[in-house]
């Protein structure tokens, strides 16, 4: 895959920001930084980069979000800010074996979604 100027802009932004962003957020942030890139070009390049596994694409309730990590990892979903944070978690072998025993499926990789709040929530 050729590393065009637009793809470099997108990749640099995702590595700098270290968060999951929508195509619109990527477009806005790049243009605020003086990196002129068209809206259509952002969408096309995000699709090309995610299809090749160079960046991550997450289907979210608000639409697709893109992140810089494409290896196996889990996510922490902040319910206060609606952010998705990357985290590398290794489950104990005992849990993996238990899941395999219960399902009959040999686990080769896994992704965990955690959900929580940054601020303590009132108990009711």
Same domain membership, residue 94 and residue 60: no
Candidates 82, 81, 57; CA nearest to 69 is 57
Cβ atoms of 85 and 19 closer than 8 Å: yes
Instruction: Name the pTM for this structure.
Output: 0.69
CATH classification of the domain holding 101: 3.30.1490
Q: How many domains does the chain have?
A: 2
Task: Looking at mean pLDDT, say which of 46-50, 73-77, 108-112 comes out highest.
Answer: 46-50
Q: Taking 70 as the threshold, does the pLDDT of residue 100 lie above it?
A: yes
Same domain membership, residue 62 and residue 108: no
Chain-centroid distance of CA 101 in Å reads 30
In eight-state DSSP terms, residue 21 is B
């Amino acid at each position: 895959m050729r590393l065009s100027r637009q793809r470099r802009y997108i990749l640099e932004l995702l590595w700098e920001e270290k968060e999951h962003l929508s195509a619109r957020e990527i477009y806005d942030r790049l243009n605020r930084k003086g990196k002129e890139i068209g809206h259509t070009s952002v969408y096309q390049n995000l699709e090309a980069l995610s299809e090749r596994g160079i960046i991550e694409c997450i289907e979210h309730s608000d639409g697709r979000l893109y992140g810089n990590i494409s290896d196996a990892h889990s996510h922490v979903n902040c319910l206060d800010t609606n952010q998705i944070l990357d985290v590398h978690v290794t489950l104990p072998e005992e849990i993996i074996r238990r899941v395999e025993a219960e399902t009959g499926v040999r686990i080769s990789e896994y992704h965990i979604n955690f959900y929580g709040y940054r601020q303590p929530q009132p108990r009711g």
